[in-house]
Structure 1
Amino acid sequence: MTDLHLVVGGLLTRDPVLAPLLLNHAAALQWAQAPAPTSIAPSWAADERPGAPDGGELLTVEAHVSRDTPHPHRCLDTVLDTVHAVLTRGPIRVERLADADVPDIGGGTVSRAATWALTLAAPDVLDRPATGYRSSGAASSNR
């Protein structure tokens, strides 16, 4: 797993809207079932576009909602927009490339996918301490 995957996974799993959708997808995978009625399925590919930055990857997220969901198309748009918003809050360069224009209907769900080109803004982001924290040798006194 690359640093980019770790950063993106952390961002998505900390979001209160997206975390349960990822969990639903993981549960469906574990039990070898069709996509859960409300889930997101992320997938990765190398970014081989001409001029793509080194270390860049493409993240495609397929969002699924139940066909019984009121306004399923609006719900899918909201989920994919939430993914975009979460990605742009991290230490990542984000470019939203494409959304499937036509939702896919099947198996009791309606789904739509979107793809982002991603690179770490700072390649060594996982090797640096979080801002606002002191190193272990910088203990403070309460006196």
Structure 2
Amino acid sequence: MGYTEEVRREGGVIYRIANEEHGEAVTRLLSASFLHEPMGRALGATVEDWARFVSYFNHECMTNGLSVIAVPEQEPGSLAGALISRDFKKPFPPGFPDELPRFAPSIDALVSLDSQYEALRPGLNVDFAPTKPLRGVRKLAA
């Protein structure tokens, strides 16, 4: 795991700003995590489906300085968790969500929530909108 800016150290875990080098590991971790969340189970999505979903946002989230990885101090080459964020006012990446029909109900719900939020906060623009984080963790051995 490459070294990037450390933002916090607590409880045997180092939190660092994510970069492109972390992209594949973050995709694997998030895909496996989403598979077990209630919405992931309800969608019936596979780990491959989730990997494809995450891959649409990976480059942006690994280069925008808003995403964070958690690395165990005792296993600096592994990933304990990740939180990827993007400006929700930015347009979706090409092909998203059309190429992921399984996710349409969830995406439609999130777009609806975004619209309701924007109605309460007029004037939100790209680079000034709150980020929408996606996070995943793995259990560390005690």
Q: Same fold (TM over 0.5)?
A: no
Q: Report which of the two has the higher share of helix.
A: 2
Q: Tell which structure's C-alpha radius of gyration is larger.
A: 1
Normalised by the length of structure 2, the TM-score is: 0.30
Tell which has more relative contact order, 1 or 2 (C-alpha 8 A, sep 6+): 2
Normalised by the length of structure 1, the TM-score is: 0.30
Q: Report which of the two has the higher share of strand.
A: 1
